[in-house]
Amino acid sequence: MSDAPGPDGGSRASTGIAATHGWLRVAPIVVALAWGGNHFVPLMQLYERVYGYSTVEVDLFLAFYVIGLVPGFALAGAWSDRWGRKPVMLGGLVIGVAGSVILATASSSVVGMSVGRLVCGVSVAVGMVVGSSWIKELSVASGHSTAGARRAALSLTAGFGGGAGIGGVLAQWAPLPTVLPYAVQIAATILAGVVLLRAPETRMPDPTVRSLLGDLRIPRHARRRFVRTVLPLAPWVFAAPALAFAVGPSLVAGETGELRVGFATLATVVTLGTGTVVQLLSAPIARLTRGRHGVLGMALIAVGAVLLIPAAVTGSIPAVLVAAPLFGAGYGLCMVFGLAAVQDMATPHDLAGLTAVYYSITYAGFFLPALLAVLAPLVSFAGALIGTAVVLLGCAALVVRGLRRGCAGV
């Protein structure tokens, strides 16, 4: 197998097995790095119980994770454009392993947890930006250009959901609950790295790429479409799972008692498992909704927020479990819609940078639980959830308006 130079200064994977199935050699490392970013979520309940961390400290750990994402999003795309996808992805692997080692050995320290989460954020950003761009390019090379967004979203969701499920089960029932989840993830990451070594490169080193200090930008030709159809939707991609497995389980923590870690794990797996199924079905759903599957996803998240109200008022456990699949379905549809729109509007030179912009905005949704906590003294949690649903529907209306103005094609 050889890689033929492409017109964009990169390369196209040649025909054959490597070109047809090359994305399957990239997907495992995307899964492993996403796993490293999300298996912390069900463990939050464990850390609160074992080390006595306050809610503020746990929120701090989440904030450091998002802070770590920022340089990863800003630099990974430009660096992979300059030096190739594979070297940067292997660098993300090393960073991800380092982050898990820090978390496994320093979980009793606020400083250690903060540093570990920051490092993991960088590695997840590399996996998301470089992995999504690489999978898209390999899909195009094999004649499946429209499958790139779905394949990338599925890889990420499998990592986010599977990692949280495995980590939560190990933390609830296995020995060494603050160490073993990370050890298993490190082993999986190393195995994924071995598979990655045989993945075909799609971007040859390009010395003409100068913007190595970051490439977070929206190209001029895509700005109107991005603002009208992607910007109102993007924050809700991760606001949905944040409501499902950060807010929901915390509302019923008093009812779940010693099984709080297991319950948080269940909520996470139900949410992201549903997201995975919906992403697998996203193509027919897109056809049925005439390209408005992202709007449907936002509507489902709004319904989920309303269904969480009994959990906020009475501590209802069933309410959390009923809302979780709606959040998962909404997350899955919004992720695929936004990523497909970005990949459709990007040129080969813009792909990594525009993908990084999109993911940066999606992660703003993880600040929703903190925002709801800030509003708690001013409005009841039930009122805040109703307000969330109203804002969601307003954003959905903006996306519909943008699509009607000729920004379709996603």
Segment (H or E) for 192: helix 180-196
C-alpha 43/C-alpha 178 separation (Å) is 8
**pLDDT tens digit sequence for 367-386:** 898 888 888 889 999 999 99
**pLDDT tens digit sequence for 50-75:** 888 887 788 788 888 988 998 898 88
Please give the pLDDT value at position 162. Answer: 87
Q: Between these two residues, 402 and 264, which has the higher pLDDT value?
A: 402
C-alpha 355/C-alpha 130 separation (Å) is 9
The angle, 0 to 180 degrees and rounded to 10, between the axes of the packed helices 110-141 and 23-38 is 160
Same fold, 12-206 and 219-410: yes
User: Where do the structural domains in the chain lie, given as residue ranges?
Assistant: 12-206, 219-410
Instruction: Tell me if 191 sits within 8 A of 24, measured CB to CB.
Output: no
Please give the pLDDT value at position 211. Answer: 66
> Which residues are bridge partners to 12 per DSSP?
4
C-alpha closest to that of 321 among 369, 368, 252, 380: 252
Average model confidence (pLDDT) across the chain: 88
Please give the pLDDT value at position 15. Answer: 39
In the predicted model, is pLDDT for residue 7 greater than 90?
Answer: no
User: Which runs of consecutive H residues, i.e. helices, occur in 281-316?
Assistant: 282-288, 293-307, 309-314
Segment (H or E) for 158: helix 148-173
C-alpha 36/C-alpha 330 separation (Å) is 23
Q: Please give the CATH superfamily to which domain 219-410 belongs.
A: MFS general substrate transporter like domains (1.20.1250.20)
C-alpha 152/C-alpha 98 separation (Å) is 24
Please give the pLDDT value at position 400. Answer: 96
Please give the pLDDT value at position 214. Answer: 66
Q: What are the residues whose beta carbons fall under 8 Å from the beta carbon of 267, sequence distance 6 or more?
A: 244, 245, 248, 249, 320, 321, 324
Please give the pLDDT value at position 213. Answer: 63
Instruction: Tell me if 48 sits within 8 A of 171, measured CB to CB.
Output: no
In the predicted model, is pLDDT for residue 181 greater than 80?
Answer: yes
C-alpha 292/C-alpha 250 separation (Å) is 33
**pLDDT tens digit sequence for 118-148:** 999 999 999 999 999 999 999 988 888 778 8
pTM, 2 dp: 0.83
CATH number of 12-206: 1.20.1250.20
Q: Between these two residues, 2 and 268, which has the higher pLDDT value?
A: 268
**pLDDT tens digit sequence for 286-326:** 999 999 999 999 999 999 999 999 999 999 999 999 999 99
Please give the pLDDT value at position 9. Answer: 42
